[in-house]
Chains A and B, each alone.
Chain A
């Protein structure tokens, strides 16, 4: 899918998903597959870096809603970082900042995991 991209890297035993483009009901399954695959491998300390993300619809937020309980129940977390203002505004409208660990920068999320 040309308007959404996802790649995974490892930093200090933390899996970092770099997502870019537009996350909507059409592209959400790609994020879901990546998250599910990590969780299946017991990789539960996950950062989703949204630096390249231009757009998100509620179908994209739904993916995070579906897995956060499982991941936290296993002792991990999904932390979100580097959102642009527009993307953050959508999370904010739905009250996500009180429920998810959202950081301005990836390094803050890494520190959060390492503490």
Chain B
């Protein structure tokens, strides 16, 4: 495996007010790798969804909780890691959303994980100690 270089990190608190900043952070670095506008848009959205899920589900909208975002690349891939110290996400219990059914029941949400999987090439969830990590990979 090639050595990762170009590692950039950003620490933010879990707040939707930071969403634009987080999106711009990943987009700026993805641009430097020569990704297409469409691919950069996909990465922006995947990171938005992952960070929003942390705010809403891992931290249940409790403010001022820490989130660490790290982005790195090598010759073959771009990876983005987002870490939190909140409640872990049980990926095994996740079902693909039935949008028609959700509309009927006036439910919203549950679409983020589905979108992330569609937008990125590989998505891993890790738990280490009290830390959760979602690691999203895009092949270059």
Contact = CB atoms under 8 A, between A and B. Distances in A.
Interface of A: 3, 22, 24-26, 55, 57-59, 61-63, 65-66, 68-70, 86, 90, 93-96, 99
Nearest to B55: A25
B99 A24 contact: no
Contacts of B49: 57-58
Interface residues of B, number: 30
B56 A25 contact: yes
B118 A65 contact: no
Contacts of A86: 38, 41
A23 B19 CA distance: 11
Classify the secondary structure of B's interface with A: helix
A-B CB proximity, top 3 nearest = A62-B108, A26-B16, A58-B111
A63 B118 CA distance: 21
Interface of B: 16-17, 19-20, 23, 38, 41, 44-45, 48-49, 52, 55-56, 97, 99-100, 102-104, 106-109, 111-112, 114-115, 118-119
A90 B45 contact: yes
Contacts of A57: 19, 45, 48-49, 52
A30 B66 CA distance: 26
B53 to A, nearest CB: 9
B44 A65 contact: no
Given A55-B44, A57-B48, 9 more contacts: A24-B19, A25-B16, A25-B48, A26-B19, A58-B115, A59-B52, A59-B109, A61-B108, A99-B99
